[in-house]
Structures are given as C-alpha cells and as structure tokens.
C-alpha cells in the first residue's frame, strides 16, 4: 500500500524507533573506535544525545508537528555529547526547522528537510572531514534529491535514502586511511545508519519497541542530584571461566573508574569482588558480563540513606557549592572540564569557578555545560573544554546561553587548559585575555600514556592488545610493551630545542614509587629540561604529559 503523507504521530514514532535502534547497537558502535584505547564512546554519546530528545517526544500527548519538531530539536541540542552527538543534534535541528511548519509531510517536504539537515550540520563544524557521519548524511540527502521526482511513496523514498547511507558508510574506509588500516567503518556514520534503519523499520510495518524509560525523578530529587554526585552503592561478585589476568583486572578498573568512585576490586582465581559508588550501575553490570557470570548484586539507592550526614553511604560524596547570585557578578569567571581529584584541584587552585567532572569516556552534554555556566556568578564566562570531543558541545552551549557572554577557549587537552588559566590576567579585558590565552595554547605540547584494548594497525604502527601507547596532539606517536620506553619515545617526539619543562600528571593507577622511578628515567634522558611531577588522579591514562 502506498504511503504518501506522514502525520505528527507517525513522525514521533519513527523518531522513537530510530532512537531505540541506536540504543540497541551502541556497544557495536563503541567498538568501531579507531584508536584501541579503553574509552571508545561514540555509540554512548550518540545514544545519550538522541535519548534526551526521545524522552521529550515520548512525553508528548496528542502533539502536532510543531511540538514534535521542538521536542526533537531542543532535546537533542541540550542532550548532545561528544562531536558525534553534537553533529547528530545539528542534523535533527536542520531537519525539524523545515517540518515544524507543516501539518503533514510528503516526499517534497522530506527532501527539503534532508537538505537543510545536512547544510546545518556542515555549518556547525569548523573543518568538516569527509569519511564521517557528515559524509553519510550528505549521501542520504543527495539520494533524496535524485528520487524525489520519481515517486510519491514515502516508503520507496525512505528506502532509497537508507540504501544510500548504508552504501556510503561502507565507503568511509576509502576516504579515511586510518579507518581502512583499523578495518572499521566510521562509528558516527554507523550511528546515523542505525537511526535511519530504525525509522524505516517502523514505516515498513515491523514490530518495534517504542517504550522510552522516562525520567520519574521528582523536583526535590533533582535538586539532590546536583548536591550528591553518586546516587548508588553497588557490590557485585563476578566469576569468569578462567582465572582473571592482570590485564583483565586493569581493563575493568580503568573502565569503572571513569563512571565510579570509592572503588575496591579484589580477585582470587576466577572470582572478582567489585564495590563502588556510581550513577550508572547498568553500565557497570553490562561491562562485568563481558568477563563472566554475575553471581550476586547488591544495589543500594543512596537517596534512601540520607537521614544522617554521617551516613557511611555518603562518605566522600561531595556537595556542590551554591552559586551566590545575590552578590554582584564579577567581570570574568571560568568553567573547566576535568577529571581526577588531582587535576580538579589544580584547576581550582588556578581560579576555575566550577569544575565539570568529565573528559574521555565521560563527555559532558550541552546541558551539563549550560548548568555549570549558570553556577558561575560572572558577566563573562570562559569555558575550557580540555578535550577535542567536548569543544563542539561547549560551542553549542555558548550559542544557546543568552544571559551571559560565553567564550569557549579551544583547549583540547588538560595541559592546554592549565596553560590558559596560568596566562589569565585579571586586569585585562575579555578580548585581551581571549587573545592571550588562545595564543599561549600553541606553546604547550600534550601527551597521554595508556594501553591498547585490541590488536590493530594505525599509521603503520602494529599494536598488540596490552601494549602501552603514547598519544600526542596528532595521534599515536609511540607503541611499546615497556611503559618506561613508551614514555621516553613519546617525549622524544614532543620535546624540541625550545622545550624547557616536562610535567607528568600521574593517573589513578600509578603508585608513588612507580611515578618516582619514571621521573628518574625521564630526568636521565632529558638532563637539560626541568621535570615536574604532579598527582592528576585521572582514570584511563597512566600519565598525562605537558611539554613547554
């Protein structure tokens, strides 16, 4: 039967079906991460972005097209996380800008919406790169133009769009050599295909689950969420088929530390006990299941354990400082994205007014950044993303915020953020500080030391699971089975004749004696440079490096 129009109800159900399909395949998308680091998060970021909008769409009752379009656009823009999530939200923004004016949609309107979606997304990225989600989206829009005059049937039209996206996705390795070497397609492009595929499943009559887990939190509880950082205490027992290896335990620990606090892991043979505070017990359990079977789970909701400030469940759970809005706003303030108690303290000591916990694996959303900005009582607020995958979300927050002047400094690493704050001059103007701090970013080189979670080949470097990797501003620069060697190889790349200071920020898994041994090695290898050691406490990366 021919389908020539779509009403608001059908559009909302298509969107929900696409969101559910993306959610169901987020782990597959995460595993497409080119770099074999333990923090592949494209699928997670895209899912959290679209689910933010899906909850708003699901909450609508008897909505018209304008309401559905607003829920999709607003929900995804504010919920956008990571570059892939921001681009997805911009695609929705452009698409809904066209459809919100209509009562029903036909192929002509859908085609126009596809064109506007792609144009909007490309404009949001300063330097668009082909072979990514943008290329897949453009292929779909181009096919829409090709077939719009050949059919009035939306099913035929939608099927062609999906085919074009799938075909272009398979071509992405030919556009980006790094994808071809890793043997994967673009993860963001795969995410978009899942969304389109889910929408088409609904259109074609397949039985799809459209239920969206709503946010049943009361207003009072939402206030508590701003005060108490971790809401659940989790204790689980995991048994594997074979004995746990050090690499298994380390991989679990690095992953868990990104989404947990007060974590304790003990292993004996093939048995592992895990205790922690977390906001995401589901992610913890899903990760654990990849290593074996779970024999017991004890989950405590800390909201129910707050009768006393001395409650053991609340130990080390920090409270947020209330913003002093009754005081006159100062001229300039800072929001910084950081992770690790040491790193967080460094940013506070340098003058950051508000710290957003996040970074690799934990990309804050546009909404998170907006809330942080609101907590800073200043007329002008500088935002330090400190991660290349957070810059777009910060820019999006800047564009949405209308009651303060927001300046996003293009800090792509934690050392760059530290350098920016060091060069802030309180008596200078916003414009002068922006120019000075931005210029100083070029004088610091950043690096990170982590380990590989799988075998792969990148930039002609053969990488084995468990190898240590040195990552510089331009990608992976060193690979070695010895941690000391990979550190020295990485620093050889980062240092030049103008370098004078090497700073090493230790991660949460680095013992004091190991850090001191590392400093001795680095000092011996670079006798003419000052070597500084600081506790960072960051998960995932053993060391964060700064060369100035």
- Per-residue pLDDT of 101-153, as tens digits, reads 999 999 999 999 999 999 999 998 878 889 999 999 999 999 999 999 999 99
Predicted confidence at residue 317, as pLDDT, reads: 36
Predicted confidence at residue 221, as pLDDT, reads: 35
Predicted confidence at residue 461, as pLDDT, reads: 84
Pairwise pLDDT comparison (13 vs 286), residue with the higher score: 13
What percent of the chain shows pLDDT beyond 70?
86
State the average pLDDT over residues 456-462: 81
Q: Model confidence at 256, in pLDDT bands (50, 70, 90)?
A: low
Angle at 369 between CA 365 and CA 372, to 5 degrees: 140
State the average pLDDT over residues 409-433: 96
Pairwise pLDDT comparison (506 vs 274), residue with the higher score: 506
Which residues contact residue 378 at a Cβ distance below 8 angstroms, ignoring those fewer than 6 apart?
329, 330, 331, 332, 333, 353, 404
Predicted confidence at residue 131, as pLDDT, reads: 93
Predicted confidence at residue 132, as pLDDT, reads: 95
Predicted confidence at residue 240, as pLDDT, reads: 77
What class is the 229-314 domain? Answer: alpha beta
pLDDT exceeds 90 at position 233: no
Would you tell me how many other CB atoms lie within 10 Å of the CB of residue 193? 25
Q: Please, which residues bridge with residue 238 across strands? A: 272, 294
Q: Model confidence at 296, in pLDDT bands (50, 70, 90)?
A: confident
pLDDT exceeds 90 at position 234: no
What is the token pair recorded at 370? 């907006």
Predicted confidence at residue 141, as pLDDT, reads: 98
pLDDT exceeds 70 at position 318: no
Predicted confidence at residue 226, as pLDDT, reads: 33
What class is the 445-547 domain? Answer: alpha beta
Residue whose token pair is 């950082």 = 229
Predicted confidence at residue 474, as pLDDT, reads: 81
Name the residue among 154, 183, 120, 103 with its Cα closest to residue 458. 183
pLDDT exceeds 80 at position 309: no
Predicted confidence at residue 76, as pLDDT, reads: 95
346-360, 392-406, 499-513, range with the lowest pLDDT? 346-360
Name the residue among 62, 74, 81 with its Cα closest to residue 7. 62
Predicted confidence at residue 406, as pLDDT, reads: 97
For residues 371 and 85, give the distance between their C-alpha atoms in angstroms, rounded to a whole number: 18
Q: Model confidence at 227, in pLDDT bands (50, 70, 90)?
A: very low
Taking only the tens place, the pLDDT of each residue in 160-214 is: 999 999 999 999 999 998 888 888 899 999 999 999 999 999 999 999 989 987 5
Q: Model confidence at 99, in pLDDT bands (50, 70, 90)?
A: very high
Report the chain's mean pLDDT, rounded to a whole number.
86
DSSP for 407-422? Answer: EE----SHHHHHHHHH
For residues 147 and 83, give the distance between their C-alpha atoms in angstroms, rounded to a whole number: 30
Which residues contact residue 387 at a Cβ distance below 8 angstroms, ignoring those fewer than 6 apart?
337, 358, 359, 360, 363, 412, 413
For residues 98 and 109, give the distance between their C-alpha atoms in angstroms, rounded to a whole number: 7
Chain CA centroid to CA 12, Å:
26
Name the residue among 72, 170, 52, 85 with its Cα closest to residue 113. 72
Taking only the tens place, the pLDDT of each residue in 326-343 is: 678 999 999 999 988 899
Taking only the tens place, the pLDDT of each residue in 30-46 is: 888 777 665 557 888 99
Predicted confidence at residue 302, as pLDDT, reads: 66
pLDDT exceeds 60 at position 96: yes
Pairwise pLDDT comparison (320 vs 499), residue with the higher score: 499
Predicted confidence at residue 32, as pLDDT, reads: 85
Decide yes or no: CATH 3.90.25.10 for domain 8-203: no
For residues 235 and 238, give the distance between their C-alpha atoms in angstroms, rounded to a whole number: 10
Predicted confidence at residue 320, as pLDDT, reads: 40
Predicted confidence at residue 46, as pLDDT, reads: 94
pTM of this structure: 0.77
Name the residue among 178, 72, 99, 71 with its Cα closest to residue 459. 178
- CATH superfamily, with its number, for domain 330-443: Phosphotransferase system, mannose-type IIA component (3.40.50.510)
* Residues 344/538, Cβ–Cβ less than 8 Å: no
What percent of the chain shows pLDDT beyond 90?
64
State the average pLDDT over residues 450-473: 86
For residues 81 and 6, give the distance between their C-alpha atoms in angstroms, rounded to a whole number: 30
Q: Could you tell me the end-to-end alpha-carbon distance of the chain, in angstroms, rounded to an integer?
A: 67
Taking only the tens place, the pLDDT of each residue in 489-534 is: 999 999 999 999 999 999 988 999 999 999 999 999 999 999 999 9
Predicted confidence at residue 313, as pLDDT, reads: 36
- Sequence spans of domains, the chain: 8-203, 229-314, 330-443, 445-547
Q: Model confidence at 225, in pLDDT bands (50, 70, 90)?
A: very low
pLDDT exceeds 70 at position 319: no
Pairwise pLDDT comparison (279 vs 214), residue with the higher score: 279
Predicted confidence at residue 304, as pLDDT, reads: 52
Q: Model confidence at 244, in pLDDT bands (50, 70, 90)?
A: low
């Amino acid at each position: 039967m021919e389908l020539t129009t779509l009403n608001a109800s059908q559009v909302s159900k298509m969107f929900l079906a696409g969101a559910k399909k993306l959610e169901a395949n987020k782990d597959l998308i995460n595993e497409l991460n080119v770099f074999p680091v333990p923090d592949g998060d494209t699928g997670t970021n895209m899912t959290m972005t679209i689910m933010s909008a899906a909850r708003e769409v699901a909450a609508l009752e008897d909505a018209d097209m304008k309401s559905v379009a607003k829920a999709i656009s607003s929900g995804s823009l504010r919920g956008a996380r990571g570059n892939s999530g921001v681009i997805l939200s911009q695609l929705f923004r452009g698409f809904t800008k066209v459809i919100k004016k209509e009562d029903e949609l036909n192929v002509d309107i859908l085609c126009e919406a596809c064109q506007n979606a792609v144009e909007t997304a490309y404009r949001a990225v300063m330097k668009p790169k082909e072979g990514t989600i943008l290329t897949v989206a453009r292929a779909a829009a181009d096919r829409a133009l090709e077939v719009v005059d050949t059919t009035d049937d939306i099913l035929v039209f939608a099927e062609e769009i999906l085919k074009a996206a799938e075909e272009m996705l398979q071509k992405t390795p030919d556009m980006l050599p790094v994808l071809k070497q890793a043997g994967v397609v673009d993860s963001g492009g795969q995410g978009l295909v899942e969304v389109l595929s889910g929408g088409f499943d609904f259109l074609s009559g397949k039985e799809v689950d459209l239920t969206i887990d709503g946010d049943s939190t009361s207003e009072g509880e939402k206030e508590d969420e701003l005060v108490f950082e971790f809401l659940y205490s989790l204790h689980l027992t995991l048994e594997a088929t074979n004995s746990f290896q050090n690499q298994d335990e380390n991989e679990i620990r690095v992953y868990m530390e990104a989404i947990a606090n007060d974590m304790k892991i003990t292993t004996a043979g093939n048995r592992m006990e895990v205790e922690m505070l977390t906001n995401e017990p589901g992610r913890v359990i899903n990760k654990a299941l990849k290593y074996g079977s779970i024999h017991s789970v004890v989950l405590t909701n800390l909201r129910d354990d707050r009768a006393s400030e001395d409650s053991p469940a609340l130990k080390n759970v920090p409270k947020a400082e209330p913003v002093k809005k009754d005081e006159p706003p100062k001229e300039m303030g800072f929001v910084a994205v950081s992770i690790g108690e040491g790193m967080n303290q460094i940013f506070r000591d340098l003058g950051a007014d508000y710290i957003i916990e996040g970074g690799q694996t934990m990309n804050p959303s546009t909404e998170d950044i907006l809330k942080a900005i609101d907590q800073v009582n200043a007329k002008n607020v500088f935002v330090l993303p400190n991660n290349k995958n957070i810059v777009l979300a910060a820019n999006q927050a800047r564009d949405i915020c209308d009651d303060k002047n927001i300046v996003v400094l293009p800090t792509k690493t934690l050392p760059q953020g530290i350098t920016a704050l060091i060069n802030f001059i309180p008596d200078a103007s916003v414009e002068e500080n922006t120019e000075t701090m931005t210029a100083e970013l070029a004088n610091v080189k950043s690096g990170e030391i982590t380990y590989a979670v799988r075998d792969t080949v990148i930039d002609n470097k053969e990488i084995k699971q468990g190898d240590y990797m040195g990552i510089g501003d331009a990608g992976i620069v060193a690979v070695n089975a010895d941690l000391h060697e990979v550190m020295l190889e990485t620093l050889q790349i980062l240092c030049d004749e103008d370098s004078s200071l090497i700073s090493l920020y230790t991660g949460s898994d680095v013992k004091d004696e190991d850090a001191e041994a590392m400093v001795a090695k680095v000092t011996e290898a670079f006798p003419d440079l000052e070597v500084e050691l600081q506790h960072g406490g960051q998960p995932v990366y053993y060391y964060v490096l700064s060369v100035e």
